[in-house]
C-alpha cells in the first residue's frame, strides 16, 4: 500500500514537472514570438527610419556643403531695392521652387543652381497680364543704362522671381533676342530642365554689370553648355562681317514673321476671346502661341508690352 502511494506521488510529481515545463516552454515560446515580432517590427522601423535619415542627412549634408561659407537669408521675390548682401545664399524660385543664388564678398551675383527648373503655370499661379509674377524688377546698379535690361538669370516663365538675387544688368539685345532669349526658349519648349547652373563673371569687383555668363543645364537627357559675353550680339556680328543686308520688303510663308505694324486685315477674334482688341498672355497661350511674343511677331502689336522691352510673356 505504502509502495502504491509512493508510486502515485511520484507519478503526480512527474506529471506536475512535465506540465510546468510545458507551460514554461509555451510561455517562453510566446515570449520569444512576441519578442521576435516586436524585434522585427522595430527592426523594420529602424531600417525605414535609417533610410529616411540617410536620405535626409545626405540631403542636409549636400545643402550644408552647398551653403558652406554662405549665410542663408530670405528675400521677398518682389523686392525692388536692387541691394544684395555679400556672401549669402537666397532662394529665388517662385512658390515652392528651390533655385539657389549665391553672392561673393562684393555683393555680386556669381552663381545660381537648381536641381529642376519648373515652368511657370498661369493656371495655378498668380501672374500679371504681361506674364510676370511681379510688376517690375529689382533696380540693380547699372540697369539705368539705356542699353541694359533688368535681366533675369532665371526668367519669370521658368519660375524665377524679380529681386536683386535673380537680376543682373544685361545687354538689351542679348536679353531679348540673343543667347539669353534662346536658352530660355529652349528650356520652355523642353518643358523644363534639370541640373541647372549659371556662373556669372565680372570684369572687376566694383561693378554689378557682368562681363559674361555660362549656363549649364540638361534637357531631354542632353547636357547643354551656353557661354556668352554680356554684349550686343548684333554689333559683334557686324564687326565680324557676319551681318548681311536686309531686304526692305521681306516676304515669308510663315505668317508669324510679319511686320510689327498692326494689320487691319488680320482677324484676331478667335484669339481675343473677350473682344476688347487686346490679346492677353493667357489668350495667346490658349490659342497655341508659345511665349515670348517678340516685337517681330505679327501678334505683338495686339498685345501689351508693359515694360517696353520688345517681348511679351518672357
Quote the percentage of the chain above a pLDDT of 70: 72
Go through the domains of the chain in sequence order and give each one's CATH number: 71-239 (3.40.570.10), 252-314 (no CATH)
Whether residue 15 is predicted with pLDDT greater than 90 in this model: the reply is: no
What is the pLDDT at residue 191? Answer: 95
The residues facing 175 across adjacent strands are none
Q: What is the pTM of this model?
A: 0.61
The band of 297, judged by pLDDT with boundaries at 50, 70 and 90, is confident
167 has a pLDDT exceeding 70: yes
Pairing relationship of beta strands 212-219 and 193-201 according to DSSP bridges: antiparallel
Give the pLDDT of residue 75.
97
* 70 has a pLDDT exceeding 60: yes
Tell me the three cell numbers of residue 229: 559675353
Residue-wise pLDDT for 114-158, tens only, equals 999 999 998 999 999 888 999 999 999 999 999 999 999 999 999
- Asked if residue 197 has pLDDT above 60, the reply is yes
Question: Left if phi > 0, otherwise alpha if psi is -120 to 50, otherwise beta: which for 220?
Answer: left
Give pLDDT, residue 236.
Answer: 86
How crowded is residue 192: how many other Cβ atoms within 10 Å of its Cβ?
A: 15
Confidence class for position 311, pLDDT limits 50, 70, 90: confident
Burial class (CB in 10 A: 0-12, 13-18, 19+), 30: exposed
Amino acid at each position: 500500500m505504502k509502495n502504491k502511494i509512493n508510486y502515485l506521488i511520484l507519478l503526480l510529481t512527474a506529471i506536475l514537472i512535465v506540465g510546468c515545463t510545458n507551460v514554461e516552454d509555451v510561455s517562453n515560446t510566446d515570449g520569444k514570438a512576441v519578442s521576435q515580432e516586436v524585434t522585427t517590427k522595430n527592426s523594420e522601423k529602424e531600417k525605414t527610419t535609417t533610410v529616411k535619415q540617410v536620405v535626409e542627412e545626405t540631403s542636409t549634408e549636400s545643402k550644408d556643403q552647398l551653403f558652406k561659407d554662405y549665410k542663408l537669408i530670405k528675400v521677398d521675390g518682389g523686392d525692388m531695392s536692387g541691394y544684395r548682401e555679400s556672401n549669402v545664399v537666397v532662394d529665388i524660385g517662385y512658390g515652392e521652387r528651390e533655385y539657389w543664388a549665391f553672392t561673393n564678398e562684393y555683393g555680386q551675383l556669381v552663381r545660381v543652381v537648381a536641381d529642376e527648373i519648373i515652368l511657370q503655370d498661369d493656371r495655378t499661379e498668380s501672374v500679371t497680364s504681361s506674364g510676370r509674377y511681379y510688376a517690375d524688377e529689382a533696380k540693380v546698379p547699372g540697369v539705368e543704362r539705356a542699353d541694359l535690361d533688368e535681366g533675369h538669370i532665371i526668367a519669370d516663365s521658368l519660375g524665377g522671381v524679380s529681386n536683386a538675387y535673380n537680376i543682373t544688368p544685361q545687354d538689351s539685345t542679348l536679353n531679348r533676342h540673343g543667347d539669353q532669349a534662346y536658352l530660355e526658349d529652349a528650356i520652355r519648349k523642353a518643358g523644363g530642365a534639370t541640373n541647372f547652373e549659371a556662373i556669372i563673371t565680372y570684369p572687376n569687383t566694383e561693378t554689378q554689370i557682368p562681363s559674361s555668363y555660362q549656363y549649364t543645364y540638361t534637357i531631354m537627357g542632353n547636357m547643354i553648355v551656353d557661354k556668352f559675353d554680356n554684349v550686343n550680339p548684333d554689333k559683334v556680328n557686324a564687326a565680324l562681317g557676319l551681318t548681311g543686308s536686309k531686304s526692305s520688303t521681306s516676304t515669308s510663308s510663315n505668317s508669324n514673321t510679319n511686320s510689327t505694324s498692326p494689320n487691319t486685315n488680320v482677324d484676331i477674334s478667335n484669339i481675343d476671346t473677350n473682344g476688347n482688341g487686346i490679346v492677353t498672355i493667357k489668350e495667346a497661350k490658349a490659342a497655341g502661341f508659345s511665349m515670348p511674343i517678340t516685337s517681330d511677331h505679327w501678334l505683338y502689336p495686339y498685345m501689351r508690352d508693359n515694360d517696353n522691352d520688345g517681348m511679351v510673356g518672357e
